[in-house]
Structure 1
Amino acid sequence: MSSLTFLGAVGEVTGSRYLLEVDGEPRPHRLLLECGLHQGGREAEGANAVPFGRLAEELESVVLSHGHLDHAGRLPRLVREGYRGPIHCTADTAELLEIMLVDAAFVMAKDVEWENRWRARAGKPAIEPLYDEDDVARTLAQCEPHRYGQPVALPGGVTLVFRDAGHILGSAVVELAIPSGGQRRRLVFSGDLGNPDSVLMKDPEKVHDADVVLMESTYGDRDHRPLDDTLEEFRRVLEEAHADGGNVLIPAFAVGRTQEILYHLSVLYHAGRLPQQLVFLDSPMAIRVTELYGRKRKALDPEDLKVLNVAAHGDPDQYLPNLRLTRDVEESMAINRIHGGAIIIAGSGMCTGGRIVHHLRYNLERESTHLVIVGFQAEGTLGRQLVEGAERVRVLGEDLAVKARIHTLGGFSAHAGQQELIGWAGAFHDRPRFFLVHGEPGAQRALQAALAEAGIEAEIATYRQRIEL
């Protein structure tokens, strides 16, 4: 009998990893669904450092739903430890991975370099990064890109099909048809389901046939505000910041959220409702991803692109004329000399590293600063502390008073809200077995109860739980 074991993203929103063992002789075929980084504090770093052991050499295939690091960020570590098989993903995910993983390796190298300087002074042994750029190069060489809807044959007689999840460029719902005990069982993994209100992405595809469904539950406890209300609040925040004479800081994920924010700033600009004279995209990775989105227009929502095209009179250079792309460190540092009138978009989205941390250091203690949170903040992150109203936080080794105004705009989420999740789950025929993953415990319990009211029974997956298919 084939089986599935939950190895990550259970009771948390990061670290996605599921082991599929398929009937075979003399031993089962072993496939890995997702290989994500744990994110959020020292505990996450410890989880990322745990070796894969024999699994790295025993695996025959890896399948990815999309390119966010919490779903794909440990792949180079798996390769470093000996995995040499194919990595199946959509074509757009393969291109995103080239940007995301190279950047992750670069950031890790810098972090380890800083840490080892401290360790040398303290007489402690040096440490190594999880992986380096050579590991990333090998990982990218093992990627096998596929189209949405294209059946792909995997070891053990498994068939894979990707469907558009509407979350970010290349994101997919994963369908796996699996031989098990003389039958053929269908496993569906939602990946991260998109928010239909989000711009640029198409709506998530619904799937109707499954025996087992793994469904994300990131926002299982709430519905997002209507986008129009969120945009009106965003506009008011920008006006207040302008009146206060301060900067607007937006920690944004490089993939998806940054492009969505730029879209809305463009629409505001052309409507004459953007008071700020300067918009900085201060993230080399986000710049590269934004350029990739520009080359992948056929994958985006045509109606949203039509709005942009009309606003800019068909001239791509006019989408946001006051946008400044800061690729190098010197340009980024120069932004900190600007005390007001600027919008600064920088990673990381949860304020756990990257250039946004430096901008927080220079702006967080100013009452005129407005910090706009536009994405989910995992437990243990600096972003979560700020959202929960911390009066003091530690940034780059300094204890800072939080005097900036903090705004949380949940309507920008690229994840489905509770009602969208219930609607997606309700499209399945014949009552498949549901397991909730990718959610904090409170969100999962709330979604479980809401699904039950809709007549859908769902279990909350636990770490190392093994189920037969």
Structure 2
Amino acid sequence: MGLNLTFHGAAECVTGFCARLSGDGFNILIDCGMFQGPKTLKALNYEPFPFDVGAIDAVLLTHAHIDHSGMLPKLMKAGYQGPIYATAPTRDLCAVMLADAGGIQESEVHFLNRRNQHRGRPLVEPIYTERDARRTMDLFEKVKLEEIVDVAPGVRARFWNAGHMLGATSVEVIVGEGDDPVRILFSGDLGAGGQDYLPDPIGPSGIDHLVLESTYGDRERQRVDTAERRRQLAEELRQAHAAGGPLLMPTFAVGRAQELLLDLLAVMESGDAPQAEIFLDSPLAIEATDVFLDRGWNRDTETNPFTTLRHAPHLHYLMKPGDSDRLEKLRDWHIILAGSGMCDAGRIRGHLKRLLWRREVTVLITGYQAVGTLGRLLVEGKKLVRIQGEDYRVKARIRTMDVYSAHADARGLVQWAQDRQPIRGQIFLAHGEPDALKDLSERLEKAGFYPAKISTPVLDQCFDLSREAAQPVVEGQPRLAPHRAATLDWHNARADILARLGDRLEAAPDDDSRLRMLLALERVLKTAEWPDEPAAAG
């Protein structure tokens, strides 16, 4: 039985997960996610799919986050009309998330085309529209946890609770009939375990191959209970209040926003933090909250904790752009939650543009920030950032909290892999940046896994699978050179150089010094030659 596994996304980076499993008479995708981060990586979203869309029989979707589901409407536009298998909560969340992503695409392209017209550049089309996203929902077929589903000729699947977000799963793919099929487990994104609102991640043991996410493969986070998490949040609120300005929280709309709102309301009600008006400035988060109200039932506690969000007196939902614009008039203490969580899209950018230069403002980041995103640049301490083509000085307080992550840390990833033993074949490490991949590989070796049985695929790399082994297959040219998926690109390097040039010019003692500096730069540009080997930016 010929069986190939190809990694078309989230290889050496944390976004765009898409794996293709193909064999005799079948082709299936596990996830079809959107790339985020550096512009070079995001540009892949606009290119044709690196596989024959017409040959795909089915899509198995682990969860609704855009870096796993965000290219499904493009797949549909390209001609795919097969089933998309997912849990009911994932389907409901995708209904709002994909439509929102399509709307963002249309808005972003409208803004970009205005700039392109002014610069004499060609116009571009959105990857897909809101209407495309809504049409894609007709392809979804709901699955129940731990029930086996026939998804293609000779291929079955079983979905296991991954504990990462509402509806999130790991997907076990069973290839072949009889008593000796090949079992491949795709972890999806794994939850941290021990969380208030989500179960611990589970999965089957005794598999042949494992595809393991590695987002936090290089770090162990502080383990905190609800009381300690809220104590830390309350302290951040007290400091932000003392700084004299508003608190701005870039927030992932699904899961993170709802958990933060519950904690914000709790610490204010207890008196541990100063009272504030809270503005949820994210239509997607508001619509997602409705899904949590419908499907957030916790079987362990027999309650839905999110019902608190239905009529909270200090909580304001801002759906219309005009509602968001009116926040500009506020000067006193208040809290704004807005997407996107990595600061690369959505209404958060408007708030950052008007608030980053104010010293009394606090920006509190509570989620993972991929390489090249605006959020990552802020966390790394950049004092000048570029937002939608304009430079902004960063004077606000930039704070981070790592206790809200919905991803398992390195310790949790290793333990989850050990619980899947025996693993007869290969462990493929995906959905991680290079340092995380390297560190997790070393941790797995120390835990007793054979080094030769651990692989870190690069983008578009294919493996030929047998029951107990995996061999790389030499195929065509990958869309990105190896090891480039998670590095800062030339766009980031240009922005950084321009920012530093501006700083040097401002710091120069007089205009003659500034002119000499620019003339020297002009001479360098005239004599510069293309380097043989482009240096990695950053």
Shorter-chain TM-score: which interval? over 0.9
Per the TM alignment, residue 78 of structure 1 is displaced from its structure 2 partner at its CA by 0.9
For 2:145, give the aligned amino acid.
Y
More deviation, 123-132/349-358: 123-132
Q: Who is 2:230 aligned against?
A: 231
For 2:84, give the aligned amino acid.
I
Cα deviation 1:98-129 (Å, max 9, x = unaligned):
10010011111011111112222333322110
Cα deviation 1:393-451 (Å, max 9, x = unaligned):
12233322211111111111010011111110011222332111000000111111111
Per the TM alignment, residue 54 of structure 1 is displaced from its structure 2 partner at its CA by 5.7
Cα deviation 1:47-85 (Å, max 9, x = unaligned):
111102661111111111001110010111111111111
Q: Is the 8 A contact 1:37 1:72 kept in 2?
A: yes
Per the TM alignment, residue 327 of structure 1 is displaced from its structure 2 partner at its CA by 0.7
Equivalent-residue separation in structure 2 for 1:294 and 1:137 (angstroms): 22
Equivalent-residue separation in structure 2 for 1:263 and 1:156 (angstroms): 45
Equivalent-residue separation in structure 2 for 1:417 and 1:446 (angstroms): 12
| 1:425 and 2:417 correspond | yes
| 1:188 and 2:185 correspond | yes
| 1:144 and 2:110 correspond | no
Per the TM alignment, residue 180 of structure 1 is displaced from its structure 2 partner at its CA by 8.9
Q: Who is 2:21 aligned against?
A: 20
Per the TM alignment, residue 374 of structure 1 is displaced from its structure 2 partner at its CA by 0.5
Aligned sequence identity (%): 38
Q: Who is 1:463 aligned against?
A: 459
Alignment of 1:55-454 (within 5 A): 55-179=52-176, 183-228=180-225, 229-298=228-297, 300=298, 302-303=300-301, 305=303, 317=310, 320-432=312-424, 433-454=426-447
Equivalent-residue separation in structure 2 for 1:139 and 1:183 (angstroms): 35
Q: Which runs of 5+ in 1 are unaligned?
A: none
Aligned partner of residue 149 in structure 1, secondary structure: coil
For 1:11, give the aligned amino acid.
E
Q: Which runs of 5+ in 2 are unaligned?
A: 466-538
| 1:11 and 2:12 correspond | yes
Q: Who is 2:485 aligned against?
A: none
Equivalent-residue separation in structure 2 for 1:105 and 1:329 (angstroms): 17
Equivalent-residue separation in structure 1 for 2:96 and 2:306 (angstroms): 25
Aligned partner of residue 411 in structure 1, secondary structure: coil
For 2:427, give the aligned amino acid.
F
Aligned partner of residue 324 in structure 1, secondary structure: strand
Aligned partner of residue 177 in structure 1, secondary structure: strand
> Taking structure 1 as reference, are residues 339 and 303 closer, same or farther at Cα in structure 2, changes over 3 Å only?
farther
Q: Is the 8 A contact 1:200 1:305 kept in 2?
A: no
Q: Is the 8 A contact 1:249 1:372 kept in 2?
A: yes
Aligned partner of residue 363 in structure 2, secondary structure: strand
Aligned partner of residue 187 in structure 1, secondary structure: strand
Equivalent-residue separation in structure 1 for 2:72 and 2:290 (angstroms): 24
More deviation, 117-126/146-155: 117-126
Q: Who is 2:520 aligned against?
A: none
> Taking structure 1 as reference, are residues 113 and 77 closer, same or farther at Cα in structure 2, changes over 3 Å only?
same
Flag as ranges the 4+ runs of structure 1 deviating above 3 A: 180-183, 228-231, 300-309
Equivalent-residue separation in structure 1 for 2:146 and 2:304 (angstroms): 26
Q: Who is 1:45 aligned against?
A: 42
Equivalent-residue separation in structure 2 for 1:180 and 1:9 (angstroms): 30
Per the TM alignment, residue 230 of structure 1 is displaced from its structure 2 partner at its CA by 4.2
Per the TM alignment, residue 182 of structure 1 is displaced from its structure 2 partner at its CA by 10
Aligned partner of residue 362 in structure 1, secondary structure: helix
> Taking structure 1 as reference, are residues 231 and 224 closer, same or farther at Cα in structure 2, changes over 3 Å only?
farther
Equivalent-residue separation in structure 2 for 1:331 and 1:154 (angstroms): 45
Aligned pair count reads 458
Q: Is the 8 A contact 1:230 1:409 kept in 2?
A: no
Per the TM alignment, residue 253 of structure 1 is displaced from its structure 2 partner at its CA by 0.6
Equivalent-residue separation in structure 1 for 2:420 and 2:162 (angstroms): 15
Structure with higher Rg: it is 2
Cα deviation 1:14-47 (Å, max 9, x = unaligned):
01011111223xxxx1111110000013112311
Aligned partner of residue 213 in structure 1, secondary structure: strand
More deviation, 138-147/221-230: 221-230
TM-score by length of 2: 0.82
More deviation, 123-132/442-451: 123-132
Per the TM alignment, residue 301 of structure 1 is displaced from its structure 2 partner at its CA by 6.0
Q: Is the 8 A contact 1:23 1:179 kept in 2?
A: no
Q: Who is 1:2 aligned against?
A: 3
Q: Is the 8 A contact 1:149 1:161 kept in 2?
A: yes
Equivalent-residue separation in structure 2 for 1:321 and 1:216 (angstroms): 39
Q: Is the 8 A contact 1:2 1:179 kept in 2?
A: no
Aligned partner of residue 410 in structure 1, secondary structure: coil
Equivalent-residue separation in structure 2 for 1:264 and 1:223 (angstroms): 23
Equivalent-residue separation in structure 2 for 1:274 and 1:304 (angstroms): 29
Equivalent-residue separation in structure 2 for 1:317 and 1:155 (angstroms): 42
For 2:64, give the aligned amino acid.
G
> Taking structure 1 as reference, are residues 137 and 174 closer, same or farther at Cα in structure 2, changes over 3 Å only?
same
For 1:465, give the aligned amino acid.
Q
Equivalent-residue separation in structure 1 for 2:194 and 2:331 (angstroms): 34
Aligned partner of residue 153 in structure 2, secondary structure: helix
Aligned partner of residue 203 in structure 2, secondary structure: coil
Equivalent-residue separation in structure 2 for 1:287 and 1:128 (angstroms): 28
Cα deviation 1:210-241 (Å, max 9, x = unaligned):
10000000000111222344433321110011
Aligned partner of residue 341 in structure 1, secondary structure: coil
Equivalent-residue separation in structure 2 for 1:307 and 1:430 (angstroms): 37
> Taking structure 1 as reference, are residues 260 and 117 closer, same or farther at Cα in structure 2, changes over 3 Å only?
same
Q: Is the 8 A contact 1:242 1:276 kept in 2?
A: no
For 2:463, give the aligned amino acid.
I
> Taking structure 1 as reference, are residues 150 and 184 closer, same or farther at Cα in structure 2, changes over 3 Å only?
same
